[in-house]
Amino acid sequence: MYAAKLGCKAAALQRTLWGDFAYQPKTKRIVRIRGELAGRAKPLFVQLALEPIWKVGRVGGAAADPCIASTPVFSVHLRLCDVGLR
């Protein structure tokens, strides 16, 4: 799912997902985190897996607009009823 979205090969994404790599949207490349990126770049796993989960958790925990709450959920093809969005 993410390989097509990022424009890279699935095998390359599997190799770099668990290491010290980050995705740079400006250059559309996966780069190793070192040097000047060390303090500010988030690892690839955090960018692709954890941040969407945290976003749903933040929105779901607050009394927010259901349209905002459903956006990250539908991006991973999940369905929530109205009770789940409250």
Q: Is the residue at 81 inside a domain?
A: no
Q: Considering the domain boundaries, does residue 54 fall inside one?
A: yes
Residue 33 inside a domain? The answer is yes
Residue 84 in domain: no
How high is the pLDDT of residue 34?
81
- Please write the tens of the pLDDT for every residue from 6-62: 888 888 888 888 888 888 888 888 888 887 777 778 888 888 888 888 887 776 665
Number of folded domains in the chain?
A: 1
Return the CATH number at 45: 3.90.1430.10
CA-CA distance, 60 to 35, in Å (whole number)?
37
Structural domain harbouring 62: 2-75
pTM over 0.85: no
pLDDT at position 47 is 85
